[in-house]
């Protein structure tokens, strides 16, 4: 999203980044769109920070909603443990992923993202 402090966080994580920032707008109560380009910063050999301009929407992936579960790797160890083969972990009874969610083994935020993406993929028209 635009104006949420990505460059400010980048400047904290990578002091040499010196990314431009702006003040918070009183009218919209968030930052002002300042970043005009994307930049990649290396923290160490395995860690990078990518500062980008904000965006308001993202193009959905081209796979089907039934394939989405394979892109959430925290679901992998529950594959085949649900009551129904091909469980998409939304409304099915005896779903191992939903049980893991209840016990805290899977992040609620990640599961909410999964459900939202599943709904968006469900609404997409096939041409």
Predicted confidence (pLDDT) per residue in 74-109, tens digit: 999 999 999 999 999 999 999 999 999 999 999 999
Using pLDDT thresholds of 50, 70 and 90, give the confidence band for residue 55.
low
Choose between 101 and 32: higher pLDDT: 101
Beta-sheet strands, E only, within 15-112? 24-25, 30-31, 39-44, 47-51
- DSSP state, residue 28: T
Q: How far apart are the first and last CA of the chain?
A: 29
CA distance 72 to 54: 24
Please report, for the chain, the start and end positions of each structural domain, with discontinuous segments joined by +: 6-51, 65-123
The tokens for 53 are 């301009």
Using pLDDT thresholds of 50, 70 and 90, give the confidence band for residue 27.
low
Burial class (CB in 10 A: 0-12, 13-18, 19+), 17: middle
- DSSP state, residue 46: T
**pLDDT the model gives residue 31:** 52
Query: What would the CATH number be for the domain defined by 65-123?
Result: 1.10.40.50
pTM over 0.75: no
């Amino acid at each position: 999203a635009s104006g949420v402090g990505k460059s400010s966080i980048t400047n904290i994580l990578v002091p040499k980044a010196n990314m431009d920032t702006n003040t918070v707008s009183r009218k919209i109560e968030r930052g002002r769109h300042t970043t005009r380009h994307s930049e990649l910063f290396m923290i160490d050999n395995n860690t990078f920070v990518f500062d980008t301009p904000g965006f308001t929407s993202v193009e959905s992936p081209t796979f089907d909603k039934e394939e989405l579960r394979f892109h959430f790797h925290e679901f992998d160890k529950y594959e085949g443990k649900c009551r129904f083969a091909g469980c998409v972990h939304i409304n099915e009874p005896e779903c191992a992923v939903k049980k893991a969610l209840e016990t805290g083994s899977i992040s609620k935020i990640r599961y909410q993202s999964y459900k939202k993406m599943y709904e968006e993929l469900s609404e997409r028209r096939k041409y």
